Amino acid sequence: MRRQEKKLDNRVNEQIDAQLVRIVNIEALDQDDIQEVMPLKSAIALAEDMETDLIEIALNQKESTSICKLMDVDKFIYQEKKKAKQAKASRPKSEQKEIKLSVDIAENDFNTKERHAREFLTKGNYVKVSLQLRGRRQGSQVIRDNATALILKFIDNLSDVGKTSAMPAWQGNRVFVQVNPK
């Protein structure tokens, strides 16, 4: 039994508060004379005899016992880090991609950008569709309306693979909307 200097969220040995503990890894210890539920002091003594630690996994409120494992703390920390790393790696990575349009975009350029947005959405990424007005175009309300209509047409064409939670929003001379994958 060693004192653990590393940060551990679980309670170990004397830190455990419960009077009774349930040891869950008895089968792995190859000892038939160990009881599954025992007093805390007996469990700590058993851990000392086996030169391991008593680690609290959970607290059973119903039976007012701590659920514990007999194992080395370093090994337990290693296993927990490995589980966390595997869980993080298995999570799908979704990124935000941006598609920039312009008011006078040609039809085939529009279709190409739509195809790229469709690919991003099918891969699980978010797509931010934006259109920025420059120069004299900023002041014209007709051009602002055309820009909003173009963005609406773009997100309508993507409605089979994505959805939006809000209408296109203007921020200064720029209009944008986020399309989420379905």
**18-69 tens-digit pLDDT:** 788 888 876 655 555 566 778 888 888 888 888 888 888 888 777 778 888 8
> How many C-beta atoms lie closer than 10 Å to residue 123's C-beta?
13
Domains of the chain in sequence order: 13-90 (3.10.20.80), 96-181 (3.30.110.10)
Residue (of 154, 92, 151) closest to 125 by Cα position:
92
83-98 residue pLDDT tens = 888 887 776 677 889 9
Q: How far apart are the two ends of the chain, measured CA to CA in Å?
A: 52
Tell me how crowded residue 140 is: count the other CB atoms within 10 A of its CB.
13
pTM (2 d.p.): 0.51
Residue-wise pLDDT for 58-68, tens only, equals 887 777 788 88
